[in-house]
A and B are shown apart, each in its own frame.
Chain A
């Protein structure tokens, strides 16, 4: 266990805890939109600020067909006097409750003609540490969701790639001869295909359903795994225990499953350390292009694309998901340090 490895595991744990346990900790309603805080900047203090409260008040007053005359902020509430040309309908005070900035308003005093109301509305504190996105959704919550998607993709996509690759490579290696040659030429040809073309068509086959996208990604990334599995199988199949099994009349399928697969498991699992970050990258790339995960779900790629569109007025929308993705990838790479050499067979 080197220093780099422990650092990598620490980063991974951090990301996993953030995205898996985070939603439990915030206890907020998932996917909640805060129209009053669209593109709110990251801050250490909670919303609404006085300026935001004033803006929200103006909007509420407008809906009540009234004007804000006096505002005084005292304690954790706003003391407001509203005036209008016609009597104000008091039922319209529910607009306070419906806004993101205020709790239910309390009527203190009303002029006899009903054209002036004095009310106290408590502020509804909300902390958005990383701000809100262009639709007014809490960015931290979006990041947690994106992190979960990335981890899920990493697990599912790698599992598919591993399954397909080991089966294909194992069969090719064990069969040998012409079968092996033909099967590996297909792998070579698929290697030469531009991968984005391949993924797009696979997603067309599989449809754009959530899980199927992961499978499509796994179905693209199995090629390396097939080569590794084939190489390992080739070196195993002439070993005594395989020969013994064959001479006892065990079928090739059973030999592959019972004798070969367990013996190549170590190498194959080590290669997962290379595969998982690649799968995660492919998913976020697809989502960046708008071909992956769809709303209301999100992914790091979607968030980065959003951020790239709002560089000028909301740079944190880019920086936050970029940091999340890099932490995850760096963590995986450090944790799997040295596994990359396996491909070379050393």
Chain B
């Protein structure tokens, strides 16, 4: 088993390199550069700037240098946030984004699973219908709609919670709710579908005939939902923990979500590539973690 995990981990390196190469090429081939301003810079000054940041070497050379520096843990200086290194920016922002994401997931998984289980247990009842309708809506409502709506209702009309900014726990309730809502909805839908299907299985009929209590039967059926939930959790965690531009902008939180957008807009090569690398590694590593968890959870996969 450790051998398998190690080889899988090593196999991630070429994938990440490919991602890095693709985004490097995209970034560099896109029109515009990090030092473009409304009034063009003096060509000599521009040439000097590009020289300082070593942007005048051939592209392949720059790419190799960049990867080489990455290998030593050096992400380089930011090109648009002057006087900051990329590592500093992410060291400040990542804890905020990751905590928000982890809280959202920590709420989303149990609440969603409970709602889905309830709906499956009372399939085709009014409760089931209501939960399914809300969940269908929840997976679709985008965060940029949900966030201002929640601000309006809980911040301005009811005046229960602050509309934005960081501070005590109350400041984080709305952002976490916005991040958690689609998770709750998706998890509820997954759980309901898988559990309801498992409740139809012959083994369940037998259990019913033996007079097992509903709690036990539901518990057994819920196991069928665990595997799809596991494969959902990997990518979901990857996306929710690497920051959300919408939530961070609307609630004024200093996370890393904005680097994905602002970095690409400013052609801040180093910040963008670090953001891409962060997101891509989160995806591949968490997917690998899910695959490994599968090995433990499902004997059929072990073969």
Residues from 243 to 290 in B contacting A, C-beta threshold 8 Å: 245-246, 250, 260-261, 263-265, 272, 275-276, 279-280, 283-284
Given contacts A197-B275, A333-B136, contact A312 B26 (CB under 8 A): no
Q: Tell me, yes or no, whether A55 is within 8 Å of chain B by CB.
A: no
The yes or no answer to A44 lying at the interface (CB within 8 A) is no
Q: How far is the CA of A277 from the CA of B136 in the complex (A)?
A: 13
Is there a chain A Cβ closer than 8 Å to B137's Cβ? yes
| Interface flag for B55 (CB, 8 Å) | no
Question: Quick check: is A289 within 8 A (CB to CB) of the other chain?
Answer: yes
CA distance A155 to B47 in the complex (A): 45
Nearest chain B residue, comparing its CB with the CB of A188: B15
CB pair A304–B148 under 8 Å, yes or no, is yes
CB within 8 Å of B: which of A298-330? 301, 304-305, 307-308, 311-312, 315, 318-319, 322, 325-326, 329-330
Residue B140 interfacial (CB < 8 Å): yes
Q: Which of B17-25, B66-74, B112-120, B209-217 contacts A (4 or more CB under 8 A)?
A: B17-25
B54 within 8 A of A: no
| A201, CB-defined interface residue at 8 Å | yes
Known A-B contacts A193-B276, A194-B279; A304 and B261 likewise in contact (beta carbons under 8 Å): no
Contact of A196 among B31, B149, B163, B264 (CB under 8 A): B264
Residues of A close to B59: CB separation below 8 A: none
How long is the Cα–Cα vector from A215 to B242 in the complex, in angstroms?
A: 27
Contact of A311 among B22, B148, B246 (CB under 8 A): B148
Q: For B245, what are the chain A residues with a Cβ–Cβ distance below 8 Å?
A: 196, 289
B 153-193 to A, binary, CB cutoff 8 A, 1 in contact else 0: 00010000001000000000000000000000000000000
* A270 to B23 Cα, complex, angstroms: 32
Tell me the complex Cα distance, A315–B152, Å: 7
Check A311/B152 contact, CB under 8 A, given A192-B15, A277-B140, A304-B145: yes
- Bound form: Cα–Cα A284–B140 in Å: 13
Give the distance in Å from the alpha carbon of A285 to the alpha carbon of B240 in the complex.
Answer: 17
Q: A205-B30, A289-B261 are in contact. Are A194 and B275 (CB under 8 A)?
A: yes
**Cβ A185 vs Cβ B18 within 8 A:** yes
A197 in complex: contacting residue of B137, B156, B250, B260, CB < 8 Å: B260
Q: Within the complex, what minimum Cβ distance (angstroms) separates A277 from chain B?
A: 7
The answer to the question of B110 belonging to the interface, with a C-beta cut-off of 8 Å to chain A, is: no
Write out the residue numbers on chain B whose beta carbons fall within 8 Å of the beta carbon of A289: 245, 261
B243 to chain A, nearest CB (A): 10
A276 to chain B, nearest CB (A): 12
Interface 0/1 of A280-302, CB less than 8 Å to B: 01001100110100000000010
A198-B265 Cα distance, complex, nearest whole Å: 11
Contacts of B32 in A (CB 8 A): 204
Q: How many angstroms from the CA of A305 to the CA of B144 in the assembled complex?
A: 8
Chain B residues near A318: list those with CB within 8 A. 148-149, 152
Q: In the complex the two chains form, what is the Cα distance from A238 to B272 in whole Å?
A: 44
B107 to chain A, nearest CB (A): 23
When chains A and B are docked, how far (Å) is the Cα of A167 from the Cα of B272? Answer: 30
The answer to whether B140 and A330 touch across the interface, beta carbons within 8 angstroms, is yes
Chain A, residues 62-81, CB within 8 Å of chain B (1/0): the string is 00000000000000000000
Q: Do the beta carbons of A325 and B136 come within 8 Å of each other? A: no
Contact of A192 among B19, B31, B265 (CB under 8 A): B19
**CB of A248 closer than 8 Å to a CB of B:** no
Interface pairs (13), CB distance under 8 Å: A191-B283, A192-B16, A193-B19, A193-B23, A194-B242, A197-B276, A200-B265, A281-B140, A289-B261, A305-B144, A307-B148, A315-B152, A329-B140
Q: A281-B142, A308-B250, A326-B141 are in contact. List 12 more A-B contacts (CB 8 A).
A: A185-B15, A188-B15, A192-B15, A192-B16, A193-B23, A200-B265, A204-B32, A307-B148, A308-B147, A311-B148, A325-B142, A325-B145
**Chain B interface residues (CB < 8 Å from chain A):** 15-16, 18-19, 22-23, 26-27, 29-32, 136-137, 140-142, 144-145, 147-149, 151-152, 156, 163, 242, 245-246, 250, 260-261, 263-265, 272, 275-276, 279-280, 283-284
In the A-B complex, the 9 residue pairs with the closest CB atoms: A308-B148, A192-B280, A200-B264, A194-B279, A204-B30, A189-B18, A288-B144, A329-B140, A189-B19
